Amino acid sequence: MDNSELWLTLILFVYFLHMMVAGKHIPTTLEGPFKPVTHRFDPSFRKGSDDLPMNHPRLAKKVTSIFPEQIALALSTPTSMWVSWITGDAQIGPKVTPLDPSTVASEVWFGKKSGNYPFIQKGVASVYSQLYPFEGLLNYTSGIIHHVKLQGLEPNTRYYYKCGDSSLSAVSDEHVFETLPLPSPSTYPGRIAVVGDLGLTSNSTTTIDHLINNDPSMILMVGDLCYANQYLTTGDRGASCYSCAFPDAPIRETYQPRWDGWGRFMEPLTSRVPMMVIEGNHEIEPQAGGTTFKSYIERFAVPSDDSGSNGSFYYSFNAGGIHVIMLGAYVDYNNTGAQYAWLRKDLRQLDRSLTPWLVAAWHSPWYNSYSSHYQEFECMRQEMESLLYQYKVDIVFSGHVHAYERMNRVYNYTLDPCGPVYITVGDGGNIEKVDTDHADDPGKCPSNGDNIPEFGGICHLNISSGPGRGKFCWDKQPEWSALRESSFGHGILEVVNSTYALWTWHRNQDIYKENSHGDQIYIVRQPELCPTTFKSVSLSTG
């Protein structure tokens, strides 16, 4: 242990002592496994809210056509950063004419002092279209999407930047960001915000306002971003249940201007804090001819090349002493496929002496005790869980289920001190409302024919041990479910050192209460207690 590590440990000890003196005890995973706890939905709160209209001040376009908007950052490597933005006006109607990306340059000027930009980097631009050859459906073509990779940056350094096209005098205001530290067991980002299933509702607004107040240095967005596919192409009003509201739609429509509104909604945050995204089911957005994920692929820059991935659906990156793996639940995850081969190679190359913490994220949770999406992605778990366990993944974040749930350390549905801590945060505020029913509630256990995934097979299991043995659902809250509650909000991960990380769940209803939160725990690594040998999985299918 070096001096910086000792110093951080001392700080943590003093903090623990302060909390004890103050009468406040923050539990650690060393005290687990915990007895399952359920915080029932507070009926004084609404389960959901309507989407913000496109003329809402936070969604409306504030610049003229050629000026940059929807500015967003994304990590590439510890010494490089993506800057993305959009220029030009999107079009929607029966006939649309794509803009020419070559008419506007993709340039970023940056430096370490405000107003002084000695460096310039150029990038690439593109447009995409969402087309529907059905009568009455409107087509869409985007503005010009720019992606520029800033390279040669110094770690832990503040940079000021502008983006745009200097030849057209169409340049953004000055923005600022800070690079993250280099991989090291003693350096970590200040706060990592984790959000899922955000949407564009009044609850989404509360989530983002609350998140900004918590001053993150990075954001993990675990899928289902703007919910443009809860609309018809004509816009109008979104629906919490698409199939219920639009049963006669010839194809799953999507109102693409919601993506532009979402980019403007997020810009005050994403123009200064890097946001790392992974796709969810609401990003599939099928078009006639089998085209999918077009908006997601074109709008977001991710470090796929830097991490050896073959596309935007899965990748990895380092954030100080944390290695983060973003996996795709809606592309092939079988152990004979490209994603699995990439994951295995990525894990084999890890140097845990530099990045002690290993965090994984994907959209659809493997462990979930809610009725909604119960065992929906069991196939993915069966294919990949053993590999993640073998390489000692510490924490897994997912969304999809619109509620909060933190698990005890678990592997193959069995309490295991060497398993990851799985956390579901699929309740950023979207239009589909918060989930309140648990699979173990009387009459709420879904059937084997429910919860069919939008990608992949069906691998539902009956329970092989515990109170629900031989049944599809447990008779009570499963022992691997430590805490669950139905609320909107976001989480903050603060890694203290190579052993301790503080996880805090911030409920939206607590935004006006000082130091109030729905869940808080220190996640503690104990790699020396866990075997490095492979542990096989025994399955009991139902």
Instruction: Tell me which residues are annotated as active site.
Output: 373
- Of 65, 125, 129, the C-alpha closest to 96 is 129
CA distance 497 to 439: 37
Phi and psi torsions of 275, nearest 5°: -115, 125
Q: At what angle do helices 257-270 and 202-213 cross, to 10 degrees?
A: 20
- Of 75, 59, 487, 58, the C-alpha closest to 277 is 75
Query: Can you tell me whether residue 13 is helix, strand or coil?
Result: helix
**DSSP result, 111-154:** ESBTTB--EEEE-EEE--EE---STTPPEEE--EEEEEEE-SPP
- Of 353, 419, 385, 396, the C-alpha closest to 503 is 396
Q: Which residue has the tokens 């429509």?
A: 253
Compute CA distances 239 → 54, 232, 432, whole Å.
Answer: 15, 9, 8
DSSP letter at 505? E
Q: Are strands 218-221 and 275-277 parallel, antiparallel or unpaired?
A: parallel
> Cβ neighbours of residue 254 under 8 Å, at least 6 residues apart?
130, 228, 229, 231, 233, 285, 295
> Cβ neighbours of residue 215 under 8 Å, at least 6 residues apart?
190, 191
**DSSP result, 196-243:** -S--SBHHHHHHHHHHHHT--SEEEE-S--S-GGGSBTTBS---SSHH
> Cβ neighbours of residue 15 under 8 Å, at least 6 residues apart?
none
